[in-house]
Amino acid sequence: MADLSDVARAAGVSKATASRALGATGYVAEATRERVQAAADALGYVPSATAASLTTGSTRNVAVVIPHINRWYFGAVLEGIEASLIAAGYDLTLYRLSDDAQQRQRVFDYFLLRKLVDAVISVGIELSSAEVERLRDLGKPVVGIGGPITGVATLSIDDVDAARHVTEHLVSLGHQRILHIGGHLQDEMDFGVHAQRARGFRAAMEAAALPCGPEAVVTTPLTMAGGNAAALVALADPRSRPTAIVAGSDEVAIGAILAARQLGILVPSQLSVVGIDGHELAPLFRLTTLAQHPEVQGRHAVDMILGAMRGEADEPARRWHRFPVELDVRGSTTAAPVVTSVSV
């Protein structure tokens, strides 16, 4: 494998000049830079990232801490982050944090104390004030996705407003018997997403003077299987069956649509279903959903962290930024059906 001396010899320059040309540090004539780069390309020379970091103090590596890697939302965010970091010439180091406090501490110590990264993007992880301060003390910019973190620039959708908005869509269609199928509170993620979406549902129902007692909210795992199981129970009795469902996620909504099919209930003429997320499967099921574009969120987070590393982020920027959403109305919602009494 060629080393820097080989490149310098092929380009007819000193080793120091070759180093400056390939590292884009210090003055080198453009013609010389091009000649050195051409020699490096011809020899297949790859600069040492370790040597470059010793010279510049930069690893060109960004850490991403995340609670899940096998769930659609988190996977889509990661795709956006990775694509943008690669385009900017940065590597990505991924750390999956569990609920284990000791494991979390080890992860933070690993990339903090060994200084393996230039910055941190936290996805769905509510960093503590102590963790934020440790990162700041070491000069590592932080950006968060998922909700507000004190002293950190973060972005996310407004989960309360999201659930309120999709519920209002159903109310505007004349629905009065609306059920919310949300996530179990005991399985609550950081930033209280499940509780916030339930709160938004209740706010819209109360504003419309519609019943929203305990029976109006059921909880389930936020998966297609969870949505299917909860909807099979909720839709089984035609005497108490809702005319519409607000799902806590698109996966729950898709599970509810499949449950309706299993029970012979027509969507949307007999049952309207709306979700939150903008899942890639939503168009296939003609699902009306509030799209939050997680891949775009990932790209925006990279823009924010690159700006912070350039010193462009000031104190006012260290706050929560509300990420825009849009309601994609498809074929899973329509006007409320005329409810007739059922003889038993």
Q: How many percent of the chain have pLDDT more than 70?
A: 90
CATH number of the 159-291 domain: 3.40.50.2300
The pLDDT of 319-323, averaged and rounded, is 92
Using pLDDT thresholds of 50, 70 and 90, give the confidence band for residue 54: very low
d(CA 154, CA 149) in angstroms, rounded, equals 7
Using pLDDT thresholds of 50, 70 and 90, give the confidence band for residue 314: low
d(CA 289, CA 111) in angstroms, rounded, equals 38
Structure-model confidence comparison of residues 133 and 176, the more confident one: 176
Residue 254: which of 236, 237, 278, 234 has the closest Cα?
A: 278
C-alpha of 74 from chain center = 5
What is the sign, positive or negative, of the torsion defined by CA atoms of 53, 104, 195, 171?
Answer: positive
The pTM of this model reads 0.81
Q: How many percent of the chain have pLDDT more than 90?
A: 62
Say if CB 62 and CB 85 are below 8 A apart: yes
d(CA 133, CA 61) in angstroms, rounded, equals 20
pLDDT of the residue at 341: 52
Q: For 269-278, how does the pLDDT look when each residue is reduced to its tens digit (9 = 90+)? A: 999 999 999 9
Alpha helices in the chain (DSSP H): 4-11, 15-23, 30-43, 49-56, 72-87, 101-113, 129-137, 159-172, 193-207, 224-234, 250-262, 294-309
Q: Which fold is adopted by the domain 61-157+294-313?
A: Rossmann fold (3.40.50)
Structure-model confidence comparison of residues 271 and 134, the more confident one: 271
The pLDDT of 34-47, averaged and rounded, is 84
Q: For 162-177, how does the pLDDT look when each residue is reduced to its tens digit (9 = 90+)? A: 999 999 999 999 999 9
C-alpha of 222 from chain center = 15
The pLDDT of 196-201, averaged and rounded, is 97
Using pLDDT thresholds of 50, 70 and 90, give the confidence band for residue 28: confident
Domain boundaries, the chain: 4-47, 61-157+294-313, 159-291
pLDDT of the residue at 99: 76
C-alpha of 332 from chain center = 25
Q: What DSSP string describes 186-229? A: GGPPGGGHHHHHHHHHHHHHHHTT---SGGGEEEE-SSHHHHHH
Q: For 60-117, how does the pLDDT look when each residue is reduced to its tens digit (9 = 90+)? A: 899 999 998 889 999 999 999 999 999 999 999 998 887 778 888 888 777 666 667 8
